[in-house]
Amino acid sequence: MTTIEKRQGEETIANAIALDILNAKFKIPPMPANGAKLISLIRKPIDDIEVDDFVKIIDSDPGLLSMILQLANSIYFKGVNEIYSLRSAIVRVGLQETINTTNLYFFKRMFPKIPEIKGFQPQAYWAFSWACANAARRLGHPNLDMNVNPGELYIAGLLHGIGKLILAIQYPFEFSKCIQTAAKLKLPIHTVELDEFGTTDAHIASKLLRIWHIPSRICTSIEFYRNPDLAPEKERHIAALIQFAYAVASMSGIGKNGDGCVTSLESTWIDGQSGLPLSKKEIQETVVKEIQRSLEKKSESITGIAPPKQDTVSEPKNALSQHRQIDNIKNSMPAKLDSTKADSSKTRFFTWIRSLFH
């Protein structure tokens, strides 16, 4: 089977799973009107954003207002006096940081409760997504000459993994198997998802995000961030930057992404290029250190999760070795994981879909 045929198979399976999810009891929550407004704001240059426009959005949402006030009075941002007004909070935190974090809070609260799955906790998931989003936004700075909108990078980094949330809610047994297999074999989660579902969480997310009318450029970057070389040329750089940001977030140790190993910069598409500023090792080192310092300072105040004191990097294995190890361990995995029961109808659904591409 050629690469194109495999890709078409993954896309067809992702479409089938997306349809199955849409027809299930779990419904993708509709995008509130404020969501489109927040995304529109974050895509603008900071000098083009009117504070009054942002204040109007928050004034209509007491929940977001409360979260912003908590942020302004948190350990990292706290001043001498406690803050009680939105405008004062914006001055203390900064307009860009406030808008960024508001998007985190907004999307975080949209999802229903996730079933208890060992190795996958919502708070840790969102902490990693925040780290990825912040890394991605920094990589969009004009001084790196990538010509990608920093706000789009932030949203793509923030939402790149929501397919995992959807799988955890809709297919908890199968997703739990993926988490535990990835941890046991020290593999990236998407490699195990391919074996279990026939597609990846990124592919599923890209399909379902379009229901929210998330800009297509962002959806495409999420679909291809694992393999930027396969992305359409116009979206290749944004997909590659999300992949690079994912690696930076992985190296930070902040939160959990479901992987059983740390993603290395050397495995990214950008690292393999020769004509990009970010491909140069000295620039990489400077930018990554800058991002890591920023994440370490803000993580606990924004996500509630403190950065680890030490990082232990585990290099991912090659793809052939990954699939062989998955095959070897299948029979040794328990039929029941963490009291999460399999849904036989869903199991038959996956078996039928996968059979079409083997």
Residue 279 falls inside a structural domain: yes
Which DSSP string corresponds to 179-208? HHHHHHHT--HHHHHHHHHSS-HHHHHHHH
Asked whether residue 338 carries a pLDDT value surpassing 50, the answer given is no
Q: What angle do CA 238, 154, 95 make, to 5 degrees?
A: 140
d(CA 187, CA 282): 28
d(CA 34, CA 13): 32
Tens digit of each residue's pLDDT (9 = 90 or more) over 126-135: 999 999 999 9
Residue 247 falls inside a structural domain: yes
Of residues 23 and 241, more confidence is placed in 241
Asked whether residue 334 carries a pLDDT value surpassing 50, the answer given is no
User: How many structural domains are present in the chain?
Assistant: 1
Which DSSP string corresponds to 9-54? HHHHHHHHHHHHHHTSSS-PPP--HHHHHHHHHHTS-GGG--HHHH
Q: Work out the number of other CB atoms within 10 angstroms of the CB of residue 234.
A: 9
Asked whether residue 160 carries a pLDDT value surpassing 80, the answer given is yes
Q: In angstroms, what CA-CA distances link 252 with 43, 135, 154, 173, 339?
A: 26, 10, 17, 29, 31
- Tokens coding 79: 């001043």
Q: Where on the phi/psi map is residue 26: left (φ > 0), alpha (ψ -120 to 50), or beta?
A: beta
Angle formed by the axes of helices 51-59 and 62-72, nearest 10°: 120
Tens digit of each residue's pLDDT (9 = 90 or more) over 315-325: 444 444 554 55
Residue 211's pLDDT is: 84
Quickly state the pLDDT bin for 138 (edges 50, 70, 90).
very high
**CA-derived radius of gyration, the chain:** 20
Quickly state the pLDDT bin for 245 (edges 50, 70, 90).
very high
Residue 133 falls inside a structural domain: yes
Residue 52 falls inside a structural domain: no
d(CA 285, CA 317): 23
Cβ-contact 103, 155 below 8 angstroms:
yes
Tens digit of each residue's pLDDT (9 = 90 or more) over 284-325: 999 999 999 999 999 999 999 999 975 444 444 444 455 455
Residue 266 falls inside a structural domain: yes
Quickly state the pLDDT bin for 124 (edges 50, 70, 90).
very high
Range ranked top by mean pLDDT from 8-17, 86-95, 190-199: 86-95
Asked whether residue 343 carries a pLDDT value surpassing 70, the answer given is no
Give the CATH number for residue 332. Answer: 1.10.3210
Half-sphere CA count of 292, side-chain side, radius 13 A: 16
Residue 7 falls inside a structural domain: yes
Residue 5's pLDDT is: 61
Range of the domain at 255: 3-29+111-355
Residue 98 falls inside a structural domain: no
Residue 76 falls inside a structural domain: no
